[in-house]
Amino acid sequence: MAALKRESFGGRVAVILAMAGSAIGLGNIWRFPYMVGEHGGAAFIVVYVLCTLIVSLPVFLSEVVIGRRSRSNASQAFSRLSSGSRFWKAAGVLSIAIPLIIASYYSVIGGWSLDFFFKSCTMTFVKTAPTQVSSIFDSIVSSGFENVSMHLLFLFLCAVIVAGGVRSGIEKFSKVTLPLLFILIVVIAIYSISLPGASKGVSYLFKPDFSQLTPRSFAFALGQSFYSLSLGMGAIITYGSYVKKDENLLAASSGTAISDLLFAILAGFAIMPAVFAAGIEPGAGPGLIFKSVPYIFSTMSSSLPVLSAVISALFFFAIVIAAMTSCISLLEVGAAFLVEKFSLKRPLAVAILYLLCGGAGVLCALKSSVFDGFDYLCSNILLLLLAFLVVIFVGWVMKKEDVEDEVTNSRTIRQADKLFPVIYFLIKWIAPAAVLLIFISNFIL
């Protein structure tokens, strides 16, 4: 059967925005602040940045290389580049399963964001006393119907975008929403820092206490970096397959990683000062953002009620968008697979994914133990496993000249050509060793 004609992104800006959209999401706004709170503040941020630049960026580039070289979905990419190896076919299956598991519980968090957006529009936070506002999140989580319905609605919105295709759906959505997201997070960070008592939160982010670090802190930092950059999910392999042959992969990958780091740090400044101002425990876990941010708007309401309501709605709208850009990339992995493997029409493929992820997500919405289990399994085991397989594949299975051809565009990009020996060394030796050590530490520490 002849290969299907594949869509592609329109250019470098579109590539970076789409990949950054996949990377910049709830991993930055929802997960990063509470991970910082649980693992020592600024010291964790230092480790996180180093993990991103030394380990995660080479892994990210490796996934893009696999995608563009194969011009195929994540499952078939390994098989195509390994001449049909059974082992790498199995790795391909893993690359499809992981994003679907993540999408199942990620859409529950997206549902919380959507619920908070609706509550912002009805001025719920403005009308609630600052001392009571954190209880709103607890009431949402304990309400089975509300939790499930918001999860299904959020997932439906993401499915609609994916059904629209690569350029008409994913690319257009990313171009509009990513700039808005950056603007809004800066506005919230400025206000958060100005709150009474927020200086303790700023110090928490600026003054590292390395005595707070444990071996598990390094494991969680790398796991968070992978989660944030959408590594080990098949998403970047899939997006890489839509990158044109003349695009600079190193520039696109570096731009995405730097954008992701910048946004994560901005999210930290938007959340942590408010956490300290509200007297909330920094290590409060997954509900941290949904307790601290409403506090900001509740305190604003006494002097600027209308402005508070407007900014609250815009902020949670931005969180919904951030969650959608990432969830869209997760669904796209499965959509590309079903369309190319079984020749399904894209809307039908997306409908199947909606039923699968929606059903599993209902369990996550109703049982916190299922939610936590999925999150731990993916963040600390499966993402690391697939990332390890990716760098082994690029560093040891693919021909070095093929990798060099992709990274340097047939040696036409001078900077990439000069840096390739270092990049290849990181991919072949440093990244696998680091991922393996972190993976092992999750079981013995």
pLDDT of residue 301: 67
So what's the pLDDT on residue 156? Answer: 98
The domain spans of the chain are 12-444
In sequence order, which residues have a C-beta less than 8 Å from that of residue 372 and are 6 or more positions away? none
Nearest-angstrom CA–CA distance, 155 and 158: 5
User: Which residues of the chain carry a pLDDT beneath 50?
Assistant: 1-3
pLDDT at 4: 52
Q: Which pLDDT score, from 0 to 100, does residue 1 have?
A: 36
Taking a C-beta distance cutoff of 8 angstroms, is the pair 268, 45 a contact? Answer: yes
Q: What is the structure's pLDDT at 445? A: 63
The CA–CA distances, whole Å, from 285 to 123, 298, 372 equal: 26, 21, 11
Cβ distance 381 to 432 under 8 Å? no
Nearest to 81 by CA among 397, 431, 419: 397
Chain center to CA of 129: 33
The domain 12-444 is placed in CATH, from the list 1.20.1740.10, 1.20.58.190, 3.40.50.720, 1.10.287.610, at 1.20.1740.10
Which ranges of 164-304 would DSSP assign to H, the alpha helix?
Answer: 172-194, 199-206, 215-228, 235-240, 249-278, 288-300
Q: How far apart are CA 286 and CA 273, in angstroms?
A: 17
Q: Which of 43, 125, 86 is nearest to 313 (CA)?
A: 125
